[in-house]
Structure 1
Amino acid sequence: MDKQTQRHLYGWLRKQSAHGRRWIALCITLGLVQGMLMVAQAWLLATLLHGFIMLGHTPEQYLPHFAALLAVTALKALAAYGREVTGFHAGATVRQTIRDLVLTRLTALGPAYVQRRPAGSWASLLLEQIEEMQDFFARYLPQMAIAVFIPLVILVAVFPVNWAAGLILLGTAPLIPLFMILVGVGAADANRRNFRSLERLSGHFLDRLKGLRTLQLFLRAAAEGKAIERASEEFRERTMEVLRLAFLSTAVLEFFAAISVALVAVYFGFTYIDHLDFGHYGAEVTLFTGLFVLFLAPEFYAPLRELGTHYHARAQAIGAAEQLLAFLEAEVTEPASGAEPFSASAPIHIEARALEVLSAEGKTLVGPLSFTIEPGQQVALVGVSGAGKSSLINALLGFMPYRGNLKVNGQELRDLDMPQWRRHVGWLSQNPQLLTASVRDNLLLADPAADDATLEIALRRAQAWEFVAAKGLDYRLGDAATGLSVGQAQRIALARTLLKPTALMVLDEPTASLDRHSERAIMASLAEVVCRQTLVMITHRIEQLETMDQILVLARGQLVEQGPWRTLSRADGPFAALLAEREGGDLDA
């Protein structure tokens, strides 16, 4: 990673710290209070020891000093506790803000964009990488200010007592940040490589875990296990590289701090045996002076050492921010969402003219297309995989950008208020998502006011009542609908779609995971429901096409044919060719 990139990432991180400015300022203030209490503590200790050893005073004479020392120690501990608490809140506030930025952008880009990357990759971005920024905001940024102000406070206290000791402290202080920076340059690159390795491992592992059943059926589980092992080994090596740099940084800082404190101790030692005679403003160097400075010397370097300890948090945050910022600043086109209100009490009318569906990067995926779907029509989209059916559906749902015209009830789709538009759309994907909640809760997403009788009607229409009744509406589904078969999950999702009062129904292979008997029953139920709605359905089942009012045939992103079943099946065109090549009643076989 070049220096310019590092500066850009660091600048972005500093800019995000503004969201936790109040907590960071409070943390710095408590650090300064802790530093001043440290000086007071050293003064009290030096005074007590000098009085007992050199002046022969009794403990009774120093009772106020003992009470002050206890009070200062207690306040210093409270200040340290307050620093930890406020630092944590600073990091948590900024992390939540960054996570909101990512989620807001993901929401704006839509599910079509999200599906382009493995789920594990997004999980790593939202969880691990953002979490790794905690110490940067909670510790490193406050410590930068504290590492400047506390040494200044100590120098202000030491120079009036002994200028030679003050010069030693002042002269050796730059060594620590200098070597901290030298070690930290490589740490940022090591952390960046580590995060990339973690992202690959997360995405690889989660995808293989989801497809474990398929891998076992095709005897590929062992081979994929070795691939995960290689990815894990790469991640281990990257992690050890980061740890080596972190340990090296700590060792270097401790070494120079120890050398610096030793110089102060040597100076006072030679002064007490009359080998050195400078730095004392003409007055005698007393035991109080030596103890006071020696008590403060380790504390002078402590903030710098602590900054060095947290310096790897800076490198860690820069490494984590690289991919995060690349995603947030990527020049991609978000699906349009206007402010024009939309309402519909009747089936939807759809009209497309010179419609081109675009990827987020602006590449044309489908089109130009021109077609019209009349209110209440049942329309099927057909074509082999990759023809552009899903892209067209995503544009209709408002999840992908487009050029040209796509009007619903005479209003341009890109100008509509998308939440209002989607309230009138019922959508069932080929791989529907069920939440980790009860069956009832999943169904109530469509209609929160529905009672059990209404839920039962919807489940019966979706041929799902029999197995749901056996388990109960309060049966809790596991992650990814664990506890149900694929067909059962699809039927519950279909029941949820049927519960939603809509003017447009969009279905993507609604019977793909069902047997023929269940398929016919569900299609009969759908025929009853969608008679008052406009229906757009992706299907490869020939028997489902015969009842459609219109069929749109797509190939390589182009609309190559459209019309009713009777016309297309008799014409010598692409649809007839698909029928001729069909196997088992499936156009995509």
Structure 2
Amino acid sequence: MEKKRQHQLTRWLRQQRLYARPWTTISTLLGLLSALLIIAQAWLLATLMHHLISEQQPRAQWLTSMFLLLLCFAARALLSWLREQAGYRAGEQIRRTLRKQVLDRLQQLGPAWVQEKPVGSWASLLLEQTEEMQDYYARYLPQMTLAVLIPGLILLVIFPVNWAAGLILLATAPLIPLFMALVGMGAADANRRNFLALARLSGDFLDRLRGLDTLRLFHRGAAETRSIAAASEDFRQRTMEVLRLAFLSSAVLEFFASISIAIVAVYFGFTYLGELNFGHYGTSVTLFAGFLALILAPEFFQPLRDLGTFYHAKAQAVGAADALHSFLSSRQEAVITEGKQALPLNQPLRIDASGLMIIAPNGTVLAGPLDFSLPPGQRVALVGQSGAGKSSLINVLLGFLPYQGSLRINGFELRDLQRHDWHRLLAWVGQNPHLPALTVRDNILNGQQVSAARLQEVLALAGVDEFISRLPLGLESETGDRAAGLSVGQAQRIAVARALLKPCQLLLLDEPGASLDARSEQHVMRALLTASHQQTTLLVTHQLNELAQWDEIWVMRDGRIIQQGSWQQLTSQAGPFAQLLTHRQGEIA
């Protein structure tokens, strides 16, 4: 990673500190109080040793100092515990804030943009890479301040007692941060490469896991196993590289700290032997001065040692911030903007489009220009070949894709409406059922309160009652991850029941029977046909033989609506719909 990029990420990380400033400030203050107790503890201990060895005072004269020393030990333990708590709260606050920023950004970009990357990469961004921020804010940032303040306080105590010892500590202290920075540059780059490898491994593994049956069907199991093994080995090597740099950093710190403490000890040893006679202020070097300097010398380097220990947290945070910063600061060519206009409720819903151009997340045009009107209560079937733009029209009506031109809902531009208000008026059933709640009942009710009779009516209409009795706990049965405990047909029937139960003014159906067997498809389509009479409905389908019961049929080709009319009108004249119908009948024959 370039130095310029590292500096940019470091500045961004420090800017995020604003969200946890109270906790980081408390952690720093507690660390400073603990340092003052360390100095007091060293002073008391040196005084005790001087009284016992040099002056040989009786026990009664130093009991007070011993009691104060024990009190310092207890107070330091309490402050250390409180500092750990404050640091954890700081990291927790930052992690929550970053996750909220990522989720808000994903919501702004919409599902169409999210689907461009594997689920594993988003999981890595939200979990592993965000988690790596914890120690940076909980430990490293407060320790940076303490690494300057605590050695300064210790020098203020040592210099009046013995200037030579203070000068030795002052001269050797800069070596530690210098070598720590040199090692840290390599560690940050290694962490960035490690996170990239982890994101690839997570995404590839999850995608292969979800397509396991397909891989087995085409005898690709062995090849994919070798591919995962190669990616895992690459991740292992990068992880070991990060650990090697972390251990190297610790070794460098310990080496220079030990050298400095040894020089201080040698100076006092030769001074007591009479070989050296400097460092004092006109009087001989006392035992108190020697003990105080030697006790505080390790404590002088301890904040720098701790900073070095936590320096890998900075390297990890910088490596993780690379992807987070790039995602949060990226500017997409087409971004969904959410308006502030409140849509009046309990009014018949009318949709009018004029010059509507549907835009992909990368800025390319998916469909358009489109001009249509969808009056309240009308039931429209949208047909066309794959890639004609049918699903894009559904997604823009859901608010998941940006657009140009005009798309008005009761006279208000869709982009100006509050998304929450608009989604309250919608019910949607797609090709792949999504059951995010824990149990079957929760997925159907979706937070609503309905009577048992109404629930039973919907279960029968959607065909859920045919299989619900065979589940272990009935409606209380858990659906499992991605509805793994249900067949596709069963999951789709539950999704249909959820849509039927929701009071709405616009029902959007995007090929709801595409992945179902014949029996499940009949149940689903029969239920949706019955429900279509209760509100405005737009159905995307490839099944042309059951469209006679719909009010109007729209035919799409190359992103445009090229034909509109009823079943009788479109089948009685030559045109795109008649060609589709002839082609489909030829495929069946």
* Fold agreement, TM-score > 0.5: yes
Three-state SS of the structure 2 residue aligned to 1:72 is helix
Q: Distance in 2 between matches of 1:149 and 1:113?
A: 48
Question: 2:301 corresponds to which residue?
Answer: 301
- Equivalent in the alignment of 2:97: 97
Which amino acid counterpart does residue 239 of structure 1 have in structure 2? T
Once the two structures are superposed, residues 521-560 of structure 1 have per-residue CA deviations (whole angstroms, 9 ceiling, x without a partner) of: 4333323221131111111112233333333333343334
Residue identity opposite 1:145 in structure 2: T
CA offset at residue 572 of structure 1? 4.6
- C-alpha distance in structure 2 between counterparts of 1:423 and 1:207, whole Å: 33
2:167 corresponds in structure 1 to 167
Aligned-residue sequence identity (percent) comes to 55
Matches within 5 A, 1:11-90: 11-90=11-90
Question: Which aligned pairs between 1:130-529 and structure 2 lie closer than 5 A?
Answer: 130-332=130-332, 333-343=334-344, 345=346, 348-445=349-446, 448-471=448-471, 472-529=474-531
Report the AA paired with residue 557 of structure 2. A
Q: Would the aligned equivalents of 2:489 and 2:520 in 1 still touch at CA under 8 Å?
A: no
The code of the aligned residue for 1:94 comes to I
8 A contact 2:354–2:372 mirrored in 1: yes
Q: Distance in 1 between matches of 2:562 and 2:39?
A: 83
Aligned pair count?
A: 586
Is the Cα contact below 8 Å between 1:261 and 1:297 reproduced in 2? Answer: yes
Q: Secondary structure of the equivalent of 1:178?
A: helix
Distance in structure 2 (CA, Å) of the matches to 1:407 and 1:552: 19
Provide the secondary structure at the position in 2 that maps to 1:381: strand
Q: Kindly indicate whether residue 534 of structure 2 is the aligned counterpart of residue 541 of structure 1.
A: no
| 3-state SS in 2 of match to 1:331 | coil
Contact 1:384 1:555 in 2 (8 A): yes
Match for 1:227: what amino acid?
Answer: S
* Counterpart Cα distance in 2 of 1:37 and 1:174: 25
Q: Does the CA contact (< 8 Å) of 2:462 and 2:494 recur in 1?
A: yes
Question: In the alignment, residue 532 of structure 1 is paired with which amino acid?
Answer: Q
Q: Given the alignment of the two structures, is residue 125 of structure 1 paired with residue 135 of structure 2, yes or no?
A: no
Q: Give the secondary structure class of the aligned counterpart of 1:312.
A: helix
Deviation of 1:583 (Å)? 6.8
Greater CA deviation, 564-573 or 320-329?
564-573
Conservation of the 8 A alpha-carbon contact between 2:379 and 2:551: yes
Cα deviation, residue 224, structure 1: 1.8
**Deviation of residue 74 (structure 1)?**
0.8
Answer whether contact 1:543 1:585 (CA < 8 A) is retained. no
Structure 1 distance, partners of 2:260, 2:76, is 25
Deviations 1:192-244 (A, max 9, x none): 11111111111111111112122222222222222221221111111111111
1:454, CA displacement in angstroms? 1.2
| 2-structure distance, mates of 1:387, 1:410 | 27
Q: Report the more deviating stretch, 172-181 or 353-362.
A: 353-362
Correspondent of 2:560 among 558, 561, 564: 558
- Give me the whole-angstrom Cα distance separating, in 2, the residues matched to 1:50 and 1:365: 85
Secondary structure at 2:355 match in 1 = strand
| Cα distance in structure 1, aligned partners of 2:126 and 2:406 | 36
> Any idea what SS the aligned residue of 2:467 has?
helix
TM-score where L is the length of structure 2: 0.95
DSSP 3-state at the match of 1:116: coil
Q: Report the 3-state secondary structure (helix = DSSP H, G, I; strand = E; otherwise coil) of the residue aligned with 1:542.
A: coil
Distance, in Å, in 2 between the alignment partners of 1:58 and 1:564 is 111
Query: Does the aligned pair in 1 maintain the 2:496–2:528 contact within 8 Å?
Result: no
In the alignment, the residues of structure 2 paired with residue 5 and residue 568 of structure 1 have an alpha-carbon distance, to the nearest angstrom, of 61
Counterpart CA distance in 1 for 2:524 and 2:279 is 95
Q: Distance in 1 between matches of 2:146 and 2:268?
A: 28
- Structure 2: gaps spanning 5 or more residues: none
CA contact (8 A) 2:384 2:556 kept: yes
Give the secondary-structure state (helix, strand or coil) at the position aligned to 2:146.
helix
Are the counterparts in 2 of residues 124 and 202 from structure 1 also a CA contact under 8 Å? Answer: yes
Range with bigger deviation, 541-550 or 567-576: 567-576
Specify whether residues 555 and 243 from structure 1 end up closer, same or farther in structure 2 by C-alpha distance, changes over 3 A only.
farther
**RMSD of the alignment, in Å?**
1.9
Say whether the 8 Å CA contact 1:343–1:421 is kept in structure 2.
no
- Per-residue deviation at 1:346? 5.8
Shift of 1:488: 0.1
Comparing 413-422 and 573-582, the one that deviates more:
573-582
* Residues 192, 316 of structure 1: 8 Å contact kept: yes
Shift of 1:585: 6.6
AA at the equivalent of 2:426: V
Deviations 1:422-454 (A, max 9, x none): 111110111121124121111111x61112221
CA distance in 2, matches of 1:347, 1:526: 20
Greater CA drift, 574-583 or 140-149: 574-583
Does the 8 Å contact 2:496/2:524 carry over to 1? no
TM-score normalised according to structure 1 size: 0.95
Letter in 1 for 2:456: E
Deviations 1:490-538 (A, max 9, x none): 0001000000111111011112233334433433332322113111111
User: C-alpha offsets along residues 304-356 of structure 1, whole Å, 9 cap, x if unaligned?
Assistant: 11111111111111111111111111112432322222245465322211111
Please say which of residues 89-98 and 528-537 is displaced more in the overlay: 528-537
* Matching residue of 1:3: 3
In the alignment, structure 1 segments of 5+ residues that lack a partner are none
For residues 215 and 376 of structure 1, do their structure 2 counterparts lie closer, same or farther at Cα, with a shift above 3 Å needed? same
Secondary structure of the structure 1 residue equivalent to 2:542: coil
Q: Distance in 1 between matches of 2:519 and 2:236?
A: 52
Query: Mean Cα displacement is larger for which, 105-114 or 283-292?
Result: 105-114
Q: Measure how far apart 1:85 and its partner are.
A: 1.2
Contact kept in structure 2, 1:331 and 1:361, CA below 8 Å: no
The answer as to whether partners of 2:357 and 2:366 remain within 8 angstroms in 1 is: yes
How far did residue 158 of structure 1 move?
Answer: 0.2
Paired residues of 1:347 and 1:504 also in contact (CA < 8 A): no
Question: Partners in 2 of 1:195 and 1:560 — Cα distance?
Answer: 49
Name which of structure 1's ranges 94-103 and 347-356 shifts more when overlaid on structure 2: 347-356
- Deviating more after overlay: 77-86 vs 484-493: 77-86
TM-superposed CA distance for 1:574, in Å, is 3.9
SS at 1:426 equivalent = strand
Q: What letter is aligned with 1:370? A: D
Over 3 Å counting, the alpha-carbon distance change for 1:76 and 1:517 in structure 2 is: closer
CA displacement at 1:584 relative to structure 2: 8.2
- The residue type paired with residue 253 of structure 1 is L
| Pair 419,183 (structure 1): closer, same or farther in 2 beyond 3 Å | same
